[in-house]
Copies of this chain bind each other. A is one copy, B any other.
Amino acid sequence: MQQLTDKQQLTLDFIQRYIAIHTVAPKLQEIAEGIGISSRGVAHRYVQALIDSGFITMDNGKHRGIRLRKPNTYRADSILPLLGKIAAGKPIEAIPGEDQIDLRDFFGHNNFAVRVQGDSMIEAGIMDGDTVIIEFRETANDGDIVVALIDESETTLKRFKRSHKGRYIKLIPANKDMEEMVYEASRVRIQGVLIGQLRKY
């Protein structure tokens, strides 16, 4: 296997990065833009060189047909540097053994996001307008915060708890001005469980 030229290396890096982020291969047009040229033909030449060098393979003719032959070592840029912890009275302290945060935990296609309206979970730090990330699941454990569908018509975000040996389900708000609700188990369907929360300013 011969040495790659600079542009071939750049092309390989781009493809790996693209696949790390999108899990599908880029098309030639995207490769061209990604390495700063405008010709699909030139991009194709680099791709062909990478095939000849054994780094990738290709489903001939298929759109997005490139595949990596080696495991992708590229890290998706869902990663932010984590500088440390901040507390009143001290400079930012580094956190031992942890120097970045990976948001990929939030993804996966079993997850979806929902905008929260209202203050029913305010004491859990979930405010009106926040976005919560939900893993689609039909079951939950006591104490989980869940998206629950009641009587197939009302949806709500509450803390989940069984009672009476599972015959009833409590949905508990985190707001002292609101009261918990109790339903027969058959009236409540879990749509998902809270796994994350985010807010933009």
Contact = CB atoms under 8 A, between A and B. Distances in A.
B23 A109 contact: no
Contacts of A90: 154-155
A103 to B, nearest CB: 6
**Does more than half of chain A's interface fall in helix, strand or loop, or is it mixed?**
mixed
A182 to B, nearest CB: 15
Which of the listed residues A117, A132, A149 has the most CB atoms from chain B within 10 Å of its own CB? A117
Interface residues of A, number: 86
Interface of A: 3-6, 9, 13, 16-17, 20-25, 59, 62-65, 71, 73-78, 80-92, 95, 101, 103-118, 120, 122, 125-127, 130-133, 136, 145, 147, 149, 152-157, 173, 191, 194-201
